[in-house]
Amino acid sequence: MMDQFKVMLTVLCLFVIAPRSATAQLGLKRAGLSLESNIEYAVVGGKSLRLDAYLPAAKDPSPAIVLLHGGGFTGGAKGGYTGELARYLADHGYAAFDIDYRLMGDLGPGATLQKAMAAAQEDLGRAVEHVVAKSKMYAIDTARLAVGGGSAGAITALLATYGETRSAWRPKAVVSLWGGMYGQEKEIKPGDPPVCLVHGTADKTVPFAHSASIATAARKVEVDVVLLRIENGGHTLPLNEPFQGRTILESVTEFLDKRLR
């Protein structure tokens, strides 16, 4: 399985998306939607781990989601398309947290892909713990907390929720944008959280077959799954362009609305 991951890393590294600047993010603040940037959620090995909190204007506690960027576990940063998804979800009533996490280069000598993947899962757990601990400040309903991400971030969210080393905390739903489980699909169990899989059929970085395998395994044990198949779509698809009449932003929001509201 690690050979598969090594091949995946080589290819994913070619698709690191540059984040939007903090200035550009702050310029997107609108009435009814607040953005709090670069909140420290943990310090690990002297490294400050930070997140951007996109918070809706709501009288009652909101459902929430923690998102992880892609980058092959060697690059990338919050504020790219996960920031775009976070802004959209906040505008539709969700508290969305776009996080940075430790990459392979942060782990020092002897770092491996396996260690970087484990570190990403640990940091996702830390971010979830932070959000839950600060739930009153963020005005969120911790019983309606989802996780998700794109590419390496999606892989992290999937493995942390369903994989061999799944986390003790359980999200209420998972959103995977062009991610995979690389042979760990068999670990999906009855009663696991619902999952939304978005994937292009022409993805040469993380092939569509990965999401198809997850969907098959989930259905086998009666786990709620939605597979959004984007015909002829590649890797890292635009979130705001319509595919078969609907954008990915709209489809993901509909999935979360049905599971978290």
Q: According to the model, what pLDDT value does residue 19 have?
A: 40
Chain centroid, CA 248 distance in Å: 14
Q: According to the model, what pLDDT value does residue 12 have?
A: 59
Residue 26 has pLDDT above 60, yes or no: no
Q: According to the model, what pLDDT value does residue 58 have?
A: 86
Which pLDDT band, with edges at 50, 70 and 90, does 25 fall under? very low
**How many domains, the chain?**
1
pLDDT tens sequence across 105-164 = 999 999 999 999 999 999 999 999 999 999 999 999 999 999 999 999 999 999 999 999
Query: What's the chain's length in residues?
Result: 261
Residue type, position 26, single letter:
L
- Which residues constitute the domain of residue 155? 2-260
Q: Residue 86 is encoded by which pair of tokens?
A: 């976070």
pTM above 0.75, yes or no: yes
| C-alpha span between 207 and 233 (Å, rounded) | 11
| Pair 71, 101: CB distance under 8 Å | no
Q: Name, in order, each residue with C-beta under 8 angstroms of 225's C-beta and a sequence gap of 6 or more.
A: 194, 195, 196, 197, 214, 215, 218, 219
Which pLDDT band, with edges at 50, 70 and 90, does 6 fall under? low
Q: What is the mean pLDDT of residues 172-192?
A: 98
pLDDT cut 70: percent of the chain above it: 88
CATH number at residue 41: 3.40.50.1820
Chain mean pLDDT for the chain: 91
